[in-house]
């Protein structure tokens, strides 16, 4: 599923449904990426579909930088909220912790969504568009959009 979204974004850049930003290391090797897009039929709401950091770069700050660049993009696009969902099971505890650390709050829990005992947890971050904050800042080694 993640690769389908990435391929759509890269193969059809005129389609504004998905945005992909990539982080590379000093050798231009892919270290991580983030895929997000506006939620259809909403005003200013975005979905964070995927954020992936290579195991070698986990806990290096790349994930936070990718989130930061996404939020800056959303603000420039006059967005107001970013949503992300994940599982309630133990393997996703680090993802939930990561979202909490970066200002996302749990706004909904859909019981037994994936299977009995595995709930869908929806997190949200309020990002306020501000004309004075809408300028692009340099995101170190983040490629927007990601190139093949």
- Give Cβ neighbours of residue 6 (< 8 Å, ≥ 6 apart): 18, 20, 33, 35, 50, 146
Fold of 1-80+128-148: Aminopeptidase (3.40.630)
Write down the residue that tokens 């709050």 correspond to. 105
Residue 131's SS3 state is helix
Q: What's the pLDDT tens digit per position in 13-60?
A: 565 678 999 998 888 889 899 999 999 999 999 999 999 998 888 888
pLDDT at 29 (0 to 100) = 86
Give yes or no for a contact between 122 and 106, defined as CB atoms under 8 angstroms apart: yes
């Amino acid at each position: 599923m993640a690769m389908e979204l990435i391929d759509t974004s890269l193969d059809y850049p005129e389609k504004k449904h998905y945005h992909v930003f990539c982080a590379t290391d000093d050798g231009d090797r892919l270290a991580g990426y983030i895929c997000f897009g506006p939620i259809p039929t909403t005003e200013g709401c975005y979905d964070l579909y995927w954020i992936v950091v290579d195991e070698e770069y986990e806990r290096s700050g790349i994930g936070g930088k990718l989130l930061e660049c996404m939020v800056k993009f959303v603000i420039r696009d006059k967005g107001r909220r970013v949503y992300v969902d994940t599982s309630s099971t133990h393997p996703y505890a680090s993802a939930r912790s990561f979202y909490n650390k970066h200002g996302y709050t749990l706004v909904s829990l859909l019981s037994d969504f994936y299977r009995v005992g595995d709930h869908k947890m929806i997190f949200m971050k309020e990002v306020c568009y501000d004309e004075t904050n809408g300028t692009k800042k340099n995101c170190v080694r983040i490629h927007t959009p990601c190139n093949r």
